């Protein structure tokens, strides 16, 4: 938009890409777009091209930026929730979440395969700076003994005593899933806490940071269908004259949410699931 | 139940199985249970063992049988929806559906990789005797040009002319996903119809029947979390004194449905998705 | 070559394709190339473009055609073994074989997951018109009870009695892997033979034809490394002045084989492996 | 062996495990076995049980320990090469290597999917304390721009200037694969070196440590077939009266190597492959 580099696309432009991870648009964050001048330039380029509608796909930052752009230039704009973190108000699921979740669980499965020795503790860090959706769901789906998420205050003393009792009673390997954004710090930080405590002297402690692998990979069935539904709905919303809204899926139905709500409000984690992690461990 | 072969299980009985396909119970359909005598024997064995609650996991047949058993013997019984077909009233999703769907799509992706030649038509048959949930979702997620499901009447003439126009205009390979239970017959039957029509003489026609591979494999994230939620809810339902109901997930919330409704009513396919298949092809 | 449609490629032309199945060249079989006139046209186009070397990637047919082309027009040509069937003399492994093999085994794993009932027999047909490499290796790797390959004469009576004794003694599900090109016919043909025999009346018989899925999918580690090694070797062979040869991997070393040997001689199956199938079943 | 805990196994003991990662034996390293007393106890237990042959599966440590045990107690013993590192003399491939390699490459593929921004550098650390087999092969198979292995001396200055020129010329993301045992230190250490150099100030540097996920997962086709061949050969070697040898695969043929050679000699990395990494980057 800023460089005035536009390409017209039709249905063949997207043939044979549905199974691919990453982006074919090669769009990335732009410093210039953060300045009024940059956005001004983008708006002029759009008008010059006769483009009278925009669809912005991304997370918090993208949609907040899009809203600012709309407020300044009133070019009709509809947001589409695309982030692996699933932390967007206005949709039960974001595009990318289910794929990241399955990648995390496949990795946890592989880690569990190696847990054949006694008294081994794996601290597995998954993505989620501000939200524990991946940690919570991959913890349940991966059969973890404990899950640490940013949404709940974790007391390191309680964490220690829980893990310790767990390992001393069942004497087999345990897996703890930690969201990178947990207020106790990530897996590395927590491992230092444990290593500093001689109660854990006998325990073979391993830190696994799944990292960027969660951002790629061929999309899952659910993410593909979700992306098709939301993509079509975003176009329809534009055609229906909507602007400055985000399309989302709420209780299996397409819903529109004012952009401002998306980044001003916080989506709550599912506390029924949170209860399961302690119940099932 | 009939052979009186009972094993007490605790949490360690299920350790390290969450990633596995298939069943560790090795339970299978029983002819004897279809007779009043067989069910009588089962009921006596249960009472003798002091078992005062049952959880039945399965599809239509299992839950119908469970209801009959309850009517005859009043042993509290809660059903859990487990079938890849997703055709159970009382839950938006059944345990196994998401896994089968991803398997179908992974296979369609591989088939598409081979679609490098011109004028090749793949008829891919997926599971679904009475329901098109797998076909519909794998068709969208697999980028198929057309989807045939039992829920809608398909006119072979229209199917032919649609495929033919599709292939003559774009001159590349096309994929058609067919549910095994489509009223036109499965992929093999349809391929015979097309081969009998000289308009398709030039077209290289391939039939792929995905078959049993859709019934196995390591469960996806979604299926694991769903199974944990429904399993726990089924136990809680029993403890709360419920009987002859099925636990399900409706609009992301746990719901109980009277068993009789589950097999007497038909779950509708999502017509918004059905619309997408023609819109996106 | 025939249409004179040439594109110059450099290292960026192949960036980010190493993980993809299928071909980016979109080249496919050409009827015209089978005629002397077609090949004449191709040769003229090459000369006009100043192209003084060719690398042909494919199986039997491709390499035979390439040899004919070389005999007629003496344009230096080096073959690269690319077929999932692994049936090329002059190389221990062909590009694509390891990927197809892993796909076959993943599918057999999923089928085995469903083998929870007693007395169920799966006839799994894998690719291999003239060769049993996929059947033999996927049979061992998939834990099949029996493997039928074109390289050995199978007596239907012996096959029947072996399967029957197997199933009556161990009373659990069995998997038989059949190469599509077995002289008894594929899995469908064999299932008819068994169904016609009342000794199998009690046995629940299932036919699974893995089909085209074996031709696609992201290449395995081994196939990627093999393709890199052979591709580089093919270029080096051309630069070294070789022509009408195929590059291959024999005992882990790059070797050149005269094209004529490649399609005139038959690569033997590994009889040590064949022994394992009966030993381990 | 030390605790005298023996279980007789037959062919059904291993039914339906061929697709599983990890071990069903739950055997793990034993401190006691490192003492002469511990080995004495083990030998007595074996003799008491009338066990007159041992097969030891593992890497360097396991096979060295096994050799010591044989020297002290002369119980016929055959080794089987099982390690993901592939660093055992006496076999071209070890059981587990191909699986670990494919896991590493699948992860690198996912990382590459995220490499959509300019000037991003991924330092991917794979396993290999003393050997670069995984790094070398996953680097080629993953399309890495550079590979750092313990077998070759890497000059940090050269590494820096190579990466820098690479990134400034092509202005897209680059991937460098580092073996954990590289003498420059792992990925974290190298990233510190780069961050300390203002020439890399503009470059977005990401460290990914694949870690334990490489040790698990369902075995690949190649690993399954290799394990079957070596397992059978190990038994046959014992029956043929061999002792204190390791079975291995050399140039596609089963070979026996005296145990002492296995851990006293170093297997060379493939320098043809090493050449490819620079040639293809």
| Residue range A148-207, pLDDT digits in tens | 999 998 889 999 999 998 888 776 789 999 999 999 999 999 999 999 999 998 888 999
Instruction: Tell me what pLDDT residue C116 has.
Output: 63
Closest by Cα among B84, B35, B82 to B63: B82
Chain D neighbours, 3+ Cβ pairs < 8 A = A, C
CB–CB contact D105 C222 (8 Å): no
What is the count of residue pairs from C and D with beta carbons less than 8 Å apart?
Answer: 90
Q: Pairing relation of β-strands B146-148 and B174-179?
A: parallel
Interface TM-score (ipTM) > 0.85: yes
Query: A15 to chain B: which residues are within 8 Å by CB?
Result: 143, 172
CB–CB contact A115 D26 (8 Å): no
Residue C110, both tokens = 């999923």
Mean pLDDT across chain C, nearest whole number?
A: 92
**pTM for the predicted model, two decimal places:** 0.95
Distance (Å) from the alpha carbon of C252 to chain D's nearest alpha carbon: 6
Report the C-alpha gap between C35 and B77 in whole angstroms.
73
Q: What does the pLDDT look like over D232-264, one tens digit per residue? A: 999 999 999 999 999 999 999 999 999 989 878
Q: Pairing relation of β-strands A204-209 and A120-126?
A: parallel
Chain B neighbours, 3+ Cβ pairs < 8 A = A, C
| C21, C29, C110 ranked by CB distance to B113: nearest | C21
DSSP D40-103: HHHHHHHHHTT---EEEEESHHHHHHHHHHHHHH---EEEEEB-TT---TT-S--BTHHHHHHH
**Residue of D86, D141, D145, D173 best to disrupt the C interface, most CBs of C under 10 A:** D141
Report the C-alpha gap between B258 and D213 in whole angstroms.
44
* pLDDT by 10-residue block (mean), chain B, 281 residues: 91 87 83 94 96 94 93 96 96 97 97 78 95 97 94 90 85 89 93 93 92 95 98 97 96 94 88 86 66
In this model, does residue C233 exceed pLDDT 80?
yes
Instruction: Report the pLDDT averaged over residues A133-142.
Output: 97
Q: By CA distance, what is B18's nearest residue in A?
A: A143
Shared fold status for A11-96+220-264 and A97-216: yes
Q: What does the pLDDT look like over B212-238, one tens digit per residue? A: 999 999 999 999 999 999 999 999 999
Most confident residue range from A19-33, A211-225, C148-162:
A211-225
CATH class label, B97-216: alpha beta
Query: A170 to chain B: which residues are within 8 Å by CB?
Result: 12
Residue extents of the structural domains in chain C: 11-96+220-264, 97-216
Sheet containing strand D54-58, edge to edge, reads: D54-58, D77-81, D245-250, D253-258
Q: By CA distance, what is A216's nearest residue in D?
A: D110
Catalytic residue among B5, B52, B71, B85: B85
Q: Which residues of A touch D (CB under 8 A)?
A: 20-23, 26-29, 103, 107, 109-118, 122, 206, 208-217
Percent of chain A surpassing pLDDT 90: 73
Distance (Å) from the alpha carbon of D202 to chain C's nearest alpha carbon: 23
CB–CB contact C208 B212 (8 Å): yes
CB–CB contact A206 D215 (8 Å): no
Percent of chain D surpassing pLDDT 70: 98
Query: B220 to chain A: which residues are within 8 Å by CB?
Result: 102, 220
Instruction: Tell me what pLDDT residue D280 has.
Output: 72
Q: What does the pLDDT look like over D153-196, one tens digit per residue? A: 888 999 999 999 888 877 678 999 999 999 999 999 999 999 99
CB–CB contact C105 D221 (8 Å): yes
Q: What does the pLDDT look like over D22-48, one tens digit per residue? A: 888 877 778 899 999 999 999 999 999
- D85 catalytic, yes or no? yes
Instruction: Tell me what pLDDT residue B8 has.
Output: 93
Percent of chain D surpassing pLDDT 90: 72
Q: What does the pLDDT look like over D73-83, one tens digit per residue? A: 999 999 999 99
What is the count of residue pairs from B and C with beta carbons less than 8 Å apart?
Answer: 90
Instruction: Tell me what pLDDT residue B106 has.
Output: 97
Query: B217 to chain C: which residues are within 8 Å by CB?
Result: 109-110, 113
Report the C-alpha gap between A55 and A79 in whole angstroms.
6
Find the DSSP H helices in B114-252: 133-141, 156-170, 187-195, 221-239
Torsion over CA of C102, C107, C111 and C114, rounded to 10 degrees?
100
Find where tokens 């050149």 sit.
Answer: C256
Q: By CA distance, what is A12's nearest residue in B?
A: B170
Domain A11-96+220-264: assigned CATH number: 3.40.50.450
Instruction: Tell me what pLDDT residue A264 has.
Output: 82
Report the C-alpha gap between B94 and B249 in whole angstroms.
8
């Amino acid at each position: 938009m800023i460089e005035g580099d536009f390409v017209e696309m039709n249905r063949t432009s997207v043939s044979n890409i549905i199974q691919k991870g990453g982006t074919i648009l090669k769009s990335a964050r732009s410093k210039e777009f953060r300045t009024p001048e940059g956005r001004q330039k983008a708006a002029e380029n759009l008008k010059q091209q006769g483009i009278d509608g925009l669809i912005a796909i991304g997370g918090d930052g993208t949609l907040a930026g899009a809203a600012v752009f709309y407020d300044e230039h009133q070019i009709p704009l509809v947001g589409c929730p695309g982030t692996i973190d699933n932390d967007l108000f206005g949709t039960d699921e974001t595009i990318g979440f289910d794929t990241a979740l399955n990648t995390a669980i496949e990795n946890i499965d592989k880690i569990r395969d190696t847990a054949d020795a006694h008294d081994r503790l794996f601290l597995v860090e998954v993505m989620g700076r501000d939200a524990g959706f991946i940690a919570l769901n991959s913890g349940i789906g991966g059969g973890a003994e404990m899950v640490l998420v940013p949404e709940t205050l974790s007391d390191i003393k309680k964490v220690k005593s829980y893990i310790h009792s767990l390992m001393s009673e069942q004497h087999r390997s345990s897996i703890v899933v930690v969201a990178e954004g947990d207020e106790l710090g990530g897996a590395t930080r927590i491992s230092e806490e444990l290593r500093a405590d001689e109660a854990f002297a006998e325990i073979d402690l391993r830190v696994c940071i799944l990292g960027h692998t969660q951002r790629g990979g061929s999309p899952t069935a659910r993410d593909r269908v979700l992306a098709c539904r939301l993509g079509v709905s975003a176009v329809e919303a534009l055609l229906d004259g909507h602007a400055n809204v985000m399309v989302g899926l709420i209780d299996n139905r397409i819903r529109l949410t004012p952009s401002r709500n998306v980044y001003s409000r916080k989506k709550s984690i599912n506390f029924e699931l949170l209860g399961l992690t302690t119940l099932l461990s």
